[in-house]
Amino acid sequence: MSEWRGEGRSIGAVPTMGALHEGHLSLMDIASRECDRVVATIFVNPLQFAPHEDFDAYPRNLDGDAGLLAARGCDALFAPEKAGLFPPDFSTNISVAGVGENHCAVARPHFFDGVATIVAKLLLILRPDAAVFGEKDFQQLAVIRRLVRDLDIDARILGGPVVREGDGLAMSSRNQYLSAEERAVAPALFRTLKQAGELISAPGAQWPEIRVWARKALVDSGFSSVDYVDLVEAATLEMLDRAGPEARILAAARLGATRLIDNIAVAAARAG
C-alpha cells in the first residue's frame, strides 16, 4: 500500500467479517468507483461478540471469500490473525455515546464498543482515503461516521445501499442460520417496515401507534420476538414521533436463534 501512495493512488477499504455475499461485493464496487485501489479486510472481531453469542459458529470461508474478492477486482486482502491485532495485554476500548446507544445497543450493549475499536484500528493500519460500509447495519454506519469525525481520522466514510434477495430480505451472512421455515417468514420484516413507512408518511400520523402495530405484525407473521422498531433521525438516531425529511425506521427481530436487522428511509409526512 505504501507503493500505491507513492504513486499517488487513492485507496478504498471495505472492512468485513467474511462470509461474503452480494451485499459485501456491492461495497467493493463503490470503493472501486471512488478510489484507484481497493483493499478488503476479513476479520471476525471477538470484541463485538458477547460470551453467549455466535463467535465460534460465525461462518468462515477465507479461501472462498478471497476468490470472490479477486473476481470482483479487489487489489489486496488484509486478513489478520487475532494475535496480530490484539496483544495479550490489550486494554483500549472506544465507546461512541449518543448514536451508539439505544436500538441495537439495548440487546447488545457490548457491540458498538467492539465495532468502534476494531474499525479505528483498521483505519489507522490501512490509512485509506475512503472506507465503505453497508447501510443494512445503519446504526453501525452512524457510529463509524461519528467515530471518524470525533477522532479526526482522515478517511471518508461511504454508505452502500441495502442489497436484498428477490423477496426483499436484506442480505446477511446470518441468513444461512435460518431454517427453511424461518427463511419463508423472514421477508415479513421488510414488508412490515415498508407498510410502517407508508403509515407514518400519512398526514397527522404518530409513531407510537404505528410502532405497536408493527411489532404485532411481525409477531403475527411468525417472528418469535421483536427487539425494537424505531423511527429515528438519520444522522443522530434520535427518536422521532413523526416523519421528517431525514427519518428512517430501524428494526431488529428474532426468528428462533437468529436475529435479523433491517431499515428503510421514510418519506416526509404528506401535507394534509
Cβ proximity of 58 and 14 under 8 Å: no
Claim to verify: residue 10 and residue 144 sit in the same structural domain:
yes
Query: Quick one: 216 and 136 in the same domain?
Result: no
Q: Which domain holds residue 213?
A: 177-265
Last residue of a domain, one of 127, 160, 193: 160
Phi-psi domain of 102 (left: phi exceeds 0; alpha: psi -120 through 50; beta: other): left
What is the reported pLDDT for 1?
A: 81
Q: Report, as residue numbers or ranges, the catalytic residues.
A: 24
Q: Are residues 155 and 214 in the same domain?
A: no
pLDDT number for residue 28: 97
**For each successive 10 residues of the chain (272 residues), what is the average pLDDT?**
91 97 97 98 95 90 97 97 94 96 95 98 98 98 98 98 98 96 98 98 96 98 98 96 94 97 88 59
59: enclosing H helix or E strand: none
106 and 239 both lie in a single domain: no
Q: Are residues 138 and 216 in the same domain?
A: no
Nearest to 210 by CA among 231, 222, 196: 196
Indicate whether 66 belongs to any domain.
yes
Tell me the CATH number at 251: 3.30.1300.10
Sheet-wide strand order for 247-255: 225-233, 247-255, 258-265
Query: What's 33's domain CATH number?
Result: 3.40.50.620
Question: What local confidence, expressed as pLDDT, does residue 256 receive?
Answer: 95
- Are 109 and 229 in the same domain? no
- Adjacent-strand bridge partners of 78: 41
